[in-house]
């Protein structure tokens, strides 16, 4: 009889749900928003039928920047969802992220290339979003809100 390898589960939570009406600006925490399939967050400038529909950044990354003396908060790195308790950059492309009762996101990209230096970079000489932010597409839509549980089942 073969023993099945037990799958590990990461659990975290949503700390902020952020949108902006224009690209290139900080996002504002609106507490809850509808995530639309094949689009992203309703009303967000970065939404659309492409591979970076939703951006996520861990609060642990935000705290790194605060430790460098920056006064930053949720949405300041233009992330849509600020998380806690999940190792975002350690997730392989294709990982499914479950949020709340119905939402499923699929990781499409880890980090990004910044073509222009943002205000954060000029303040701190560094920015975490290009290295520690992740991007996903919406597979199952629904309402995302602050406090929602995030579950990531090991894909192996």
pLDDT digits over 14-40, tens only? 999 999 998 877 899 999 999 999 999
Please tell me the distance from the alpha carbon of residue 15 to that of residue 5, in angstroms, as a whole number. 32
Query: Looking at per-residue confidence, does 137 or 155 come out higher?
Result: 137
Sorted by sequence, the CB contacts under 8 Å of residue 79 that are 6+ apart come out as 18, 27, 55, 56, 57, 129, 133
Q: Which of 15, 13, 18, 84 is nearest to 47 (CA)?
A: 18
Domains of the chain with bracketed CATH: 9-153 (2.40.33.20)
The mean per-residue pLDDT over the stretch 102-128 comes to: 72
The predicted structure's pLDDT at residue 1 = 39
Tell me the percentage of the chain whose pLDDT exceeds 90. 67
The mean per-residue pLDDT over the stretch 104-118 comes to: 79
The mean per-residue pLDDT over the stretch 72-76 comes to: 90
Residues 39-65, buried b or exposed e (16+ Cβ, 10 A)?
bbbeebbbbeeeebbbbbbbbebbebb
Return the minimum-mean-pLDDT range out of 36-40, 60-64, 125-129: 125-129
Please tell me the distance from the alpha carbon of residue 54 to that of residue 47, in angstroms, as a whole number. 7
7 band by pLDDT with thresholds 50, 70 and 90 = low
């Amino acid at each position: 009889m073969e023993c099945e390898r037990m799958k590990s589960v990461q659990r975290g939570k949503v700390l902020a749900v952020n949108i902006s009406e224009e690209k290139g600006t900080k996002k504002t925490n609106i507490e809850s928003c509808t995530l639309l399939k094949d689009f992203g967050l309703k009303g967000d400038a970065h939404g659309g039928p492409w591979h970076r529909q939703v951006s996520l950044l861990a609060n642990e990354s935000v705290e790194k920047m605060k430790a460098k003396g920056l006064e930053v908060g949720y949405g300041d790195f233009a992330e849509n969802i600020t998380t806690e308790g999940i190792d975002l950059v350690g997730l392989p492309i294709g990982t499914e992220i479950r949020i709340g009762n119905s939402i499923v996101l699929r990781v499409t990209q880890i980090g990004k290339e910044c073509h222009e230096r943002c205000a954060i970079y000029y303040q701190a000489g560094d920015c975490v979003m290009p290295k520690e932010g992740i991007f996903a597409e919406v597979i199952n839509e629904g309402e995302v809100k602050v406090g929602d549980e995030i579950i990531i089942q090991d894909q192996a």
